[in-house]
Amino acid sequence: MPLSIKHLTSTKQLTKADTDAILAEAAAMEKVIAKGGDDRLHGKILAALFYEPSTRTRLSFEAAMQRLGGQIVTADGFQFSSLYKGETLEDTIIMVSGYADIIAMRHPEQGTADRAAAVSPVPFINAGDGPGQHPTQALLDLYTIQKERGSIDGLHIAMVGDLKYGRTVHSLTYLLGLYKNLRFTYVSPDSLKMPEKVSSFLKEKNIPYEEVTDLHAGLDADVLYMTRVQKERFDDSAEYEALKLKYILTADHLKGKKVTVMHPLPRVGEISTDVDALPNAAYFRQAKNGVPVRMALLSMLLQ
């Protein structure tokens, strides 16, 4: 089934039919991976433009393209001469669309994904725009929740940490808004609360949520989504240092608990390594799910 969108910049664009189709296709892609991939994207090229560092997102996009027989051209960091020469983002996107059939871009500034999509002649995917959105992460998070918990409707989801600058929790909240009878617990320091745009979305949709500062409020949820304090978004390093390890989840917190622990990774101390061996720890499975989900998305946007 083709998607209702040409470009993916925000999870707010997706319909329930889109997410159902992507989750089903991602499950089918796990079987494709198991048999060594196929050639359905033979002759197609993905341009991966990373103006901001990335390991998981970039490698899983590359792996996804290659599993389906497609190819990749990439630019990042010092290779990005257009950035240093002062080329506009719009010109870069139009030019790159002459080389590739689809573009994935990560950029430090919120709003750049919409600017790029507005001029892109080929499908464009937001791979993270500053503190804005990270829709492909949200899709793999959704896929992980479904796999780990069996279904999505009716779940209690707790999100912990840097809810202000963490783009993954913004995108995931919007996406979960498509499901029924969910409720949210947001755990953060006062200075890193969910932005107004996200809480007003929940109010409009009558989705119950609470905002608290104590990690214990999330331990009896179905899903505990931990996040890293986003160092690169702070102007004041002392403020970052004071907040960075406000929440540290340890194996002791999880004694007798059934909660599924997720994290978009990288973790920098907020989940103790003694959690890794527990059945609750889903974060490495979650990262692995990035490949089938991005395979599904790439093949559907290129249909």
58 is catalytic: no
Smallest separation (angstroms) from ligand NCD to the CB of 203: 25
56 is catalytic: yes
**89, 135, 124: which is closest to 109 by C-alpha?**
89
Nearer to ligand NCD, 61 or 124 (CB): 61
Query: For residues 46, 51, 54 and 58, what is the CA-based torsion angle, rounded to 10 degrees?
Result: 0
Tokens representing residue 163 in the block: 């809810």
Nearer to ligand NCD, 9 or 57 (CB): 57
Nearer to ligand NCD, 19 or 168 (CB): 168
Q: Check if the beta carbon of residue 161 is closer than 8 Å to that of residue 269.
A: no
Smallest separation (angstroms) from ligand NCD to the CB of 247: 14
Smallest separation (angstroms) from ligand NCD to the CB of 19: 19
Query: Which of 9, 11, 19, 57 does the annotation list as catalytic?
Result: 57
Rg (CA), the chain: 19
Nearer to ligand NCD, 97 or 287 (CB): 287
Query: Which of 44, 67, 106, 244 does the annotation list as catalytic?
Result: 106
Angle at 157 between CA 210 and CA 182, to 5 degrees: 80
**48, 43, 113: which is closest to 75 by C-alpha?**
48
| Cα gap 265→55, rounded to integer Å | 10
DSSP, residue by residue, 109-153: STTHHHHHHHH-SS-EEEEEETTS--HHHHHHHHHHHHHHHS--T
Tokens representing residue 287 in the block: 């990262």
85 is catalytic: yes
Query: Which of 35, 85, 216, 255 does the annotation list as catalytic?
Result: 85
Nearer to ligand NCD, 137 or 185 (CB): 137
Smallest separation (angstroms) from ligand NCD to the CB of 35: 27
Nearer to ligand NCD, 183 or 231 (CB): 231
Sheet holding 223-226, edge to edge: 209-212, 183-187, 156-160, 223-226, 260-262
Smallest separation (angstroms) from ligand NCD to the CB of 227: 6
Q: Which residues of 187-197 are buried (b: 16+ CB within 10 A; e: fewer)?
A: bbbeebbbeee
Query: Which of 12, 40, 56, 257 does the annotation list as catalytic?
Result: 56
Long-range contacts of 16-23 (CB under 8 A, 24+ apart): 16/178, 16/179, 19/139, 19/142, 19/175, 19/178, 21/300, 22/139, 22/143, 22/293, 22/296, 22/297, 22/300, 23/142, 23/143, 23/146
| Cα gap 26→6, rounded to integer Å | 18
156 is catalytic: no
Binding site for ligand NCD (CB under 6 A): 56-57, 128, 134, 137, 167-168, 228, 264-265
11 is catalytic: no
Smallest separation (angstroms) from ligand NCD to the CB of 60: 9
- Catalytic residue set: 56-57, 85, 106, 134
